[in-house]
Structure 1
Amino acid sequence: MRRSLASSPIPWLLALLSLFPFATLAERLIQSSSLNLCQENSQFSATLFNVAFTPDNKTVTVDIEGVSSISGNVTLKLDLIVYGYNALQETIDPCTDADGQLMGLCPMNTGTPNFPFNLPLSDDVISKIPGIAFTIPDLDAVARVLILSKNTGEQLACVEAPLSNGQSVYQKAVGWVTAVIAGLGLLASAITNGLGHSNTAAHVAANAMSLFGYFQAQALIGMTAVTLPPIVQSWTQNFQWSMGIIRIGFLQNMATWYQRATGGTPSTILSNLANASVQIQKRSLDVVSGLLTKRGVFPRTNAGATNAQTTTNVIVYGIKRVGFRSKIEPTNIFLTGYAFFVIFVLLVIACVVAFKYITEALVKAGKMKSDKFQEFRNGWLTVLKGIMFRIILIGFPQMVVLCFWELTVRDSAAEVVLAIFTIVTMIAILGWAAFKVIRIAQRSIQMHKNPAYILYSDPVSLNKWGFLYVQFKATAYYFIVPVLGYLLVKGMFVALGQGSGAVQAVAFILIEAILLVGVCILRPYMDKKTNSFNIAIAAIQFLSSVFLLIFSDVFNQPGIVTGVVGVIFFVVNVIFAFVLLIMVLVSSCYALFSKNPDTRYQPMRDDRGSFIKSQTQLNTELDALGATARGEGKGAYGKPRAGIDDDDDSYSSSSAGMRQKEANSDVYSAPVQQSDSYYQTTHTNTSSPAPYHNAPYGQNRTGSIRSEQSRGPTASPWQRGAGYDH
């Protein structure tokens, strides 16, 4: 029975895609260069297949070379399936072909048939194909041919050709734009922080990190073993750069050499397409289980194959699918991602060191004011440590997936050892950093009834460990622990669950639901806008996991539902990604080019700004006198700070020592009291935001602590602010 696609709701949904600028002015064309098996024990397979339909000349051009074990008269049944909808059904008898184009199949003979032909189509058939099918990206359509015995009606073979119109949402420009904007956000936060605008830096960094996390979440969906519609595969492929899946020719050669040198056997799928029919998974693994090879299963692309007897069917899915689409051998995927992570770390170190010496040279040459980036220049090693920790956090999802996956594929013994060492080290580093943050915050609560006091008053701790807590409000310092657990568990399901897409889909929906509920209830981020930003991301990720569950076919829904949901997935995420990119781009540009970007953001309710010391704020003689009275040097990091990584790594933890010092230094008591009086007056002025303390980084707040102790713990001004009523 013939059914018209025009009468279905699909064209109206697909019409929305025409609003996106993917279509070109090229000739209208539908083509395929892949002929895949859709039946076990099929008696016909193709080694070369090319089909092209051009509606302008109303002709289908076909070129087939294959292997046939069929003998006798046959009937061909053609189905055109578009987005799961059976748009066209035709039954063809080669023996009654009026144009004689298929007479070579009457009867069909065993051997290696080779029959190119042109098949004219009538206007009636062409009218059933909607015009939008020639312009929408990643057309989800397949032409399926069943070969039936004319005498018995037995199905002898089933082959299908995925169709393409040459348009795709997978564009290198998309990857470059998203990477540049995310990188610009991190760069802008670093520069503004160096200029003393810590509030702006914290907001821009938090949004840039959340944006990068969203990109990685999209990439992880593409890495699952779930059968994804073509448009979803292509969309998620745009973000595989965030997981280090980037092809560079010489890097692939190095990875292959390293694997051979360490006892591994590199795969040769990409270099042996002449003898391998590679198919990107479009059906459940159960259907194609008879076609799976040891390394998995990769769409056949034509490379002049002529020897049909040596052709191997390979199907790729999950991590191997994104590697194949990036033209990376399966055995090189781990080393490719690992190498890019190492390159990124080295590049950042080089940039920080270069920036340090460039700024020093500019100051000495009189080209830049001496107070510019002074805090960075005095304590650049500590800043560099904090940057390295942040990079480890950024690369954590990537390395969790690649390292655990390497343990399942075992490309070589050396790579397995490298994966184990890397993931254990990263988990240990981030775990230790989270433990340090919690211990510092708990000590601050114990001594000052406020976690923000030590977390933000100690510049060394702030620069070294702040990457874990500055994006959260002070009372939610602990939230980095569930975030790290979320990334670890999600990455492990992607890496270790490659054999079951349904398990991955169910795990994703549970993990994303827990995260969404957590951020909605706790609202752990620094302010209302940042909470809204991250809640929106969590909501979209949960919605995407629901779509992923539908793609896994656990509901056994009709194919048309899967096709429609795939289109909706793309539309929702492309709009959301565009909004996020614009927001981060605007905030980054404002931070870089505004004279006072802090005016765009309200002071934090946890009073962190009152605790952050900035050398650039040292602008009163009274503060300078107080610093001199306390015996503090010029440099923020000028004197060694013993125990910064031990239990006494906060200034307030040495309060007893400072009290003893004050008792032995009566000569300085008067200036210190003046400084205390000045600070108390300015801090208790509720008509304006609390000012930054004007002592340089790395200097003790003796006066403030002593006056606080004189008032007693219940009268401490640091207990004010949201969430500090203990």
Structure 2
Amino acid sequence: MFFSLARLRAAIFSSLLLSTSVAFSREQSLFTSSVTYCEPPETLLIQQFDVAYFAKNQSISFNISAASVQANVNVTANLLLNVYGIRAINITLDLCHILGGALCPLPMYNFTGSDSISLPESLGVQDKIPGIAFKIPDLEGVAQLVLTEVGTGVVKACVQATLSNGWSTHQNAVEWVTGGVALATLLPSIWHSLTPDALLPFRLIDLLLLYQTITSSSFLSLNYPSTYRAFTLNFAWAMGLFSTSPSSSLQSSIDRMRHLTGGKLANSTSASPVGLVNRKLSPYNFLGGHPVVPSPLNRRSIDTFDLSELANVTHTKILSTLASDSATQGGNVQTVTTSSSNVLQAGIPIFVNFLHIATANAFMTIFLCALILIACALGMFALGFAFVYFLGRQSSDRKYRSKSGYPSFVRAWTIRLALVLLSPILVFSFYQWTLKDSWLAILLSVIAFLVLLGALLYPTLLVLRYARHEGREALYNDAKYLASNGALYAQYRVPRFYFFLPLLVVSFLKAIAIAFIKGSGEVQVILMVILEGLTVVSYLVLRPSRTRGSDIFSTFLAIMRLVCTGLMISFVERLNVAPIPRVVIGLVIAVLFSITVLVTYVNLLINSGIERLWTGRSARTSDRSGSTNASIMEKGEHAAADKSSSSEHIGRPNNPTPDSGDQLDPGFLHPFLVSPTETEITSACTSNRTSATMTVGSLLPRRWSLTPLNSPTGSSQAHDPTSYNSHSNHVLARYSDTPPSLRHGQERT
């Protein structure tokens, strides 16, 4: 008798979760991804609830542990399948009129069972589930079972299970690729940064800020479709949010720290956080946030499924025992209602919990990741200093003098590191202040905010003050100053050196909008659109970059941010946009951001100088042949001159100084890595001038001295691909006598 009732209950659970299924991936399948109570349980208690449907053989696999603990309860069962807000299935079964009344009243059993059942074709399950449900990423489907007492209409049990098909826009491979590109760009950027105004370091910062923009676009209090939220999780690492395991020791340590210092907010859950999402949001899409409970007066009995055939299906591994006082009271299944304190609201709470990071742990996670990054940077700086110091001890004075530029190099990369940490620290420090949880976390957030503010505000004030007293051109003419603080302004034209300042202000205002206006997604998205719109206008009007290509690229990034932010207006809850259009818009935004990332990759490739791999060889060949011919002609001319005047000009040098009107031959400087000293040049020229018949040559200006000291003029030429065609051309370009201020002014033309 007990086994017969167990089979009947298994049939009820199987039919109940007919559509509730899981996509065990490339097989067409559906499965339950989370289970929660939508009303406090009274009759039915659930400890485990895993059900999967496989389309290939129309079978259901389940692993269920539940208990009925109340006697003499007659109920009706309502099964609702909500897919993208559409009620695909909504049936009500009077359990007293099926299966011979075996479930009326509901028997008191602790049921534990696992099995795989092939469903009869007469049920027509395959026809009721469209094929797209097995392929669309991040399916938004919910199955709900409500047990209502006959006569009184009191809800005795309400269970909701979200559905998944195994497809998602959140992929670990994407995280590795995006992170790998950033790391692969880091070393070339360090090398290029030896020239202060090289573009590659600035493009690396642009890439990381783009990653952070995509991630923070999910921080607003909007009703994001599940597929877009999953897409943004691919870039969460750029904000210092790394996905952790449910049993992460790091998160457990943060939990203990918070609770020891006054923290009272909930810890992260080991289960899928989707079960705790507000019922008004995706994937639930219940209007008003309340579960759909049928009225006892208006319920309809639809006998769509012929359950009698399930009674003849054989089962294996089915266990059934009498209920006892030791029955688990609800197990790990949580109750989530509109008045529950554990509900995850839109924005940062939902986002971080999908990474198994509690809402109150978000800042401490960012803070610890920032400390690790800073420690790595300090270690690299120390190794670099040791390397430079070793070279200074072992090398000539020329190499030893290069050590004087290393502090400027460290200072520049410190500014770049602060720019990368700006958005994460600002957003989560401000957000931590709104939580009012754990005084230690709040204290650390204040310290982090002040340190970051000092790291960026101090060089900003130095730049503005220097420009005010010395002039804008001095910012670019002073090589040491450019190397130290050029990370802020070197990519901009001289008249627009200040353009970095409004960008910092925009980042600050965005953080304020995300953290302090979290109660209104509508206001947040409007402010974001305004800020992005002003950024686009500033790029179009001011055209701050030194080259036309840089202006086009920066404007493109700003326009794409504006378009994607504008499309997010459709996610405002008050507009009640239907789930399917929201999903389509979310996919469009994801595609636009993906295109922007790819364009940035191409720009990184161009600015890395990789084109020299296939253009450098031919250029070097032509330069070598040209310099060889010039040397031969030069030797012939010198030999003829020496032969004609050997009797009159004893001791005349073989390579005389050229006439003042002649252009210096690149081949003349090409063989020399280090020029003669000033003393040698002066003595040679003086001896030539003593000759009565000497009519050529003049004192060589000091600007031709090939010293290894940095020059601001060389930095601006570093981006010209032609300057790399030959060593001689590079030397001439680097030590050109054109004033640096004029060169920066001419780059726009």
TM-score, length-scaled by structure 2 = 0.67
Q: 2:330 aligns with which of 301, 308, 327?
A: 308
Cα shift readout 1:656-682 (whole Å, capped 9, x = no counterpart): xxxxxxxxxxxxxx9999347999xx9
Q: State the shift of 1:55 in Å.
A: 1.3
Q: State the shift of 1:718 in Å.
A: 6.1
- Is 1:430 aligned to 2:467, yes or no? no
Q: 1:674 aligns with which of 701, 707, 712?
A: 701
Q: 2:277 aligns with which of 259, 262, 280?
A: 280
Contact 2:25 2:165 in 1 (8 A): no
Q: Counterpart of 1:166 in 2: which secondary structure?
A: coil
Contact 2:32 2:163 in 1 (8 A): yes
- Cα distance change, pair 532–399 in 1 and its aligned pair in 2 (3 A): same
Cα shift readout 1:680-704 (whole Å, capped 9, x = no counterpart): xx99x99x989889999xxxx9x99
Q: State the shift of 1:568 in Å.
A: 2.2
How many Å separate the matches in 2 of 1:695 and 1:115? Answer: 79
How many Å separate the matches in 1 of 2:512 and 2:67? Answer: 42
How many Å separate the matches in 2 of 1:246 and 1:546? Answer: 28
Q: Counterpart of 1:377 in 2: which secondary structure?
A: helix
- Is 1:415 aligned to 2:411, yes or no? no
Alignment of 1:203-222 (within 5 A): 203-222=199-218
Cα shift readout 1:377-405 (whole Å, capped 9, x = no counterpart): 33212211221121111100010011111
Q: Counterpart of 1:315 in 2: which secondary structure?
A: coil
Q: Percent of counterpart pairs with the same letter?
A: 22
Cα shift readout 1:146-190 (whole Å, capped 9, x = no counterpart): 556676889887643221112322233322321221233233121
Q: Which runs of 5+ in 1 are unaligned?
A: 1-22, 292-303, 446-450, 600-615, 630-669, 709-715
How many Å separate the matches in 2 of 1:283 and 1:617? Answer: 75
Q: 1:72 aligns with which of 44, 49, 74?
A: 74
**2:55 matched residue in structure 1:** 55
Q: State the shift of 1:93 in Å.
A: 1.9
Q: State the shift of 1:322 in Å.
A: 2.9
- Cα distance change, pair 34–620 in 1 and its aligned pair in 2 (3 A): closer
How many Å separate the matches in 2 of 1:359 and 1:151? Answer: 87
Q: State the shift of 1:320 in Å.
A: 2.8
Comparing 68-77 and 342-351, the one that deviates more: 68-77
Q: State the shift of 1:220 in Å.
A: 0.7
Q: 2:489 aligns with which of 455, 458, 469?
A: 469
Alignment of 1:565-644 (within 5 A): 565-585=585-605, 587-588=607-608, 590=610, 621=675
User: 2:66 corresponds to which letter in structure 1?
Assistant: E
Cα shift readout 1:507-550 (whole Å, capped 9, x = no counterpart): 22222222222223323233222222222222222222223221
How many Å separate the matches in 1 of 2:482 and 2:744? Answer: 20
**1:192 matched residue in structure 2:** 192
How many Å separate the matches in 1 of 2:364 and 2:463? Answer: 33
Alignment of 1:10-159 (within 5 A): 26-36=26-36, 46-61=46-61, 63=64, 65=66, 71-82=73-84, 84-86=85-87, 88-95=88-95, 100=99, 106-108=104-106, 120=119, 122=121, 124-145=124-145, 159=159
Q: State the shift of 1:482 in Å.
A: 1.0
- Cα distance change, pair 590–352 in 1 and its aligned pair in 2 (3 A): farther
Q: State the shift of 1:469 in Å.
A: 0.8
How many Å separate the matches in 2 of 1:165 and 1:533? Answer: 39
RMSD: 4.8
Cα shift readout 1:419-454 (whole Å, capped 9, x = no counterpart): 112213322432232222223334454xxxxx3x32
Alignment of 1:326-725 (within 5 A): 326-358=355-387, 361=390, 377-445=403-471, 451=472, 453-585=473-605, 587-588=607-608, 590=610, 621=675, 674-675=701-702, 717=742, 720-721=745-746
Q: How many residues align?
A: 596
User: 1:337 corresponds to which letter in structure 2?
Assistant: I
**1:252 matched residue in structure 2:** 251
Q: Which runs of 5+ in 2 are unaligned?
A: 1-22, 292-325, 337-341, 620-669, 684-696, 707-712, 724-728
Comparing 529-538 and 574-583, the one that deviates more: 574-583
- Cα distance change, pair 132–464 in 1 and its aligned pair in 2 (3 A): same
Contact 1:399 1:423 in 2 (8 A): yes
- Cα distance change, pair 464–544 in 1 and its aligned pair in 2 (3 A): same
Q: State the shift of 1:283 in Å.
A: 2.3
How many Å separate the matches in 2 of 1:192 and 1:145? Answer: 62
Cα shift readout 1:641-665 (whole Å, capped 9, x = no counterpart): xxxxxxxxxxxxxxxxxxxxxxxxx
Q: State the shift of 1:489 in Å.
A: 0.9
Q: Counterpart of 2:573 in 1: which secondary structure?
A: coil
Q: Counterpart of 1:228 in 2: which secondary structure?
A: coil
How many Å separate the matches in 1 of 2:42 and 2:536? Answer: 47
User: 2:535 corresponds to which letter in structure 1?
Assistant: L
Contact 1:24 1:135 in 2 (8 A): no
Q: Counterpart of 1:143 in 2: which secondary structure?
A: strand
Q: Counterpart of 1:237 in 2: which secondary structure?
A: helix
- Cα distance change, pair 111–411 in 1 and its aligned pair in 2 (3 A): farther
- Cα distance change, pair 193–467 in 1 and its aligned pair in 2 (3 A): closer
- Cα distance change, pair 110–343 in 1 and its aligned pair in 2 (3 A): same
Contact 1:360 1:377 in 2 (8 A): yes
Q: Counterpart of 2:446 in 1: which secondary structure?
A: helix
Comparing 388-397 and 331-340, the one that deviates more: 331-340
How many Å separate the matches in 1 of 2:238 and 2:327? Answer: 35
Q: Counterpart of 2:193 in 1: which secondary structure?
A: helix
How many Å separate the matches in 2 of 1:589 and 1:127? Answer: 58
Q: State the shift of 1:412 in Å.
A: 1.8
How many Å separate the matches in 1 of 2:483 and 2:616? Answer: 22
- Cα distance change, pair 672–244 in 1 and its aligned pair in 2 (3 A): farther
TM-score, length-scaled by structure 1 = 0.69
User: 1:331 corresponds to which letter in structure 2?
Assistant: A
- Cα distance change, pair 507–592 in 1 and its aligned pair in 2 (3 A): farther
